[in-house]
Structure 1
Amino acid sequence: MPPPDPAHLGTLPPFERVVSEHGPTVLRVCRALLGPVDADDAWSETFLAALRAYPELRPGSNVEAWLVTIAHRKAIDVHRVRNRTPVPSERLPEHAATSGIPGTGDDELWSAVAALPFTQRAALVYHYVGGLPYAEVGAVLGNTADAARRAAADGRAALRRHYRMQTGIPS
């Protein structure tokens, strides 16, 4: 790989500043997508991958959206590994878990969010936790702004139904 163009490097802020400015947002996104156990590792993996690719980033790019895209891919990797890895247990539960990860101490909201389909969960997290506009959410998810808006709306509707059922409030 040829060395990066020095003129190009001059237009990018130091990577340390990128980490300090966008690190908290990326960590919130990782926690919302993966839960507290895997979030720190995904955050680290996100910034390691970003550090490698940073010299090639085009000037004027939306760095926050770029980092959230990387975090999204790392979260998918964690979900794939999690789905293939058996969880050892000293005793089997009486019933299968219906939402969230059993025994992690997640509160009710995050358990309900974790039970959503990945695209709905990701759209809600990227928009409401990460603060990204729907156009960027769509780009991160590989679809359009309208599709991202629809996924977030479907996720919100599912959360409302969940809470109505929990509280006995009629639809």
Structure 2
Amino acid sequence: MSKKPFEQIVAEHANMVLRVCRAVVGQADAEDAWSETFLAALQAYPKLRAGANVQAWLVTTAHRKALDITRARVRDPVSTTTDVLVDQPTTTGLPEAPDHDLWAALKALPPRQRHTIAYRYLGGLPYKDIAEITGGTVEASRRAAADGVKTLRRIYAGHPHPRGDTR
């Protein structure tokens, strides 16, 4: 079994990786995490065994790059400038315009819950793979997802849906 060309891997998984990165590091750093993920993946792809779970491999790489970016941001000096740069939301990789309330609710979750929800519902990974990525057990991943979804339902309840429906 031969591997697909890397360009095809990017085309198939780019949107999923961006959604995962947005959920893990937030909108401001998502594109950096996405770029770092695919740069690292490009270098490592020739050594990836044929038949490997490419989706899980990319989510694992995105997880590591997101942690690197988070650690780097903690070390960054606080800016003293009065100029404020406003990030414009991107819809790249999203099926419709971003739902700012949902992203804010997701960002408010504890990291373990946010990561688990991102990997499960945005990355489409099974709990076994999530447990391997996060360093926990399958049961802990299931619990984190359930707790996160419960919190999201509580926080997000009553917010109007972007298409105008209500829940």
Coarse TM-score class (shorter-chain normalised): 0.7 to 0.9
- Alpha carbons of structure 1 residues 44 and 164: separation in structure 2 relative to 1, 3 Å: closer
Aligned counterpart in structure 2 of residue 17 of structure 1, from 8, 11, 26: 8
1:95 corresponds in structure 2 to none
2:138 equivalent to 1:145: yes
Aligned counterpart in structure 2 of residue 46 of structure 1, from 28, 37, 48: 37
SS of residue in 2 equivalent to 1:61: coil
1:109 corresponds in structure 2 to 102
The TM-score with structure 1 as length reference comes to 0.75
Counterpart Cα distance in 1 of 2:41 and 2:120: 21
Aligned counterpart in structure 2 of residue 74 of structure 1, from 65, 70, 75: 65
The TM-score with structure 2 as length reference comes to 0.77
CA contact (8 A) 2:24 2:118 kept: yes
Residue 119 of structure 1 and its aligned partner are, at CA, apart by 0.9
CA contact (8 A) 2:28 2:87 kept: no
Counterpart Cα distance in 1 of 2:15 and 2:115: 17
2:92 corresponds in structure 1 to none
Higher relative contact order (CA 8 A, sep 6+): 2
Unaligned stretches of 5+ residues in structure 1: 1-9, 92-101, 167-171
**Alignment deviations for residues 53-108 of structure 1 (CA, whole Å, 9 cap, x no partner):** 111112211001000000011111111122232244539xxxxxxxxxx9877722
The CA RMSD measured in Å over matched residues stands at 2.5
Aligned counterpart in structure 2 of residue 162 of structure 1, from 135, 155, 161: 155
Counterpart Cα distance in 2 of 1:124 and 1:78: 19
Instruction: Flag the structure with larger Rg.
Output: 1
Greater displacement, 156-165 / 64-73: 156-165
Counterpart Cα distance in 2 of 1:88 and 1:152: 38
Unaligned stretches of 5+ residues in structure 2: 90-98, 160-167
Counterpart Cα distance in 2 of 1:43 and 1:131: 17
- Alpha carbons of structure 1 residues 89 and 118: separation in structure 2 relative to 1, 3 Å: farther
